[in-house]
A and B are shown apart, each in its own frame.
Chain A
């Protein structure tokens, strides 16, 4: 089966600009997650969707980050405006209970 797809793979922006990331999960996976991985750290959960509803967004900085999952399939994560500390790899994962598969990530550099 095809894995989790993410785009773009790399993005460089200046602070205060906006950026969006896209994720296409594995077909049939109802649960989708976005994680932030800062260099030298493990991934940190930002938001979890079950179908097209938000299950957990307690660690999402809602003043600048937003996410949606259209029709319970693809998802987008947006940052507006970006800060220097947002430089990280943004990982999307999908799950069919208990088996989490990760995409390759989008590496964001904020200058």
Chain B
């Protein structure tokens, strides 16, 4: 079983839609969590950290459920520019473990 698992997608959604991605992790000792965004053939960039109480940044909301060991990312009012791959990342003992990513395609 992979340490961090994500649905690879693709999720094809129209502009303005709300879309949610989930990610599960296997190590209950994981300490911190992130969502990174990666555009095609480019470097990953931090989208947001995920806090235990949940956090919001504009149209993006991240949630953490430690009991069930999953992390979610909600994108509201999707834009064409949101098309990318979203990587779930877990810090295990100071080392980042990356999921394989969920691909999002927003169409007009």
Q: Do A and B bind each other?
A: no
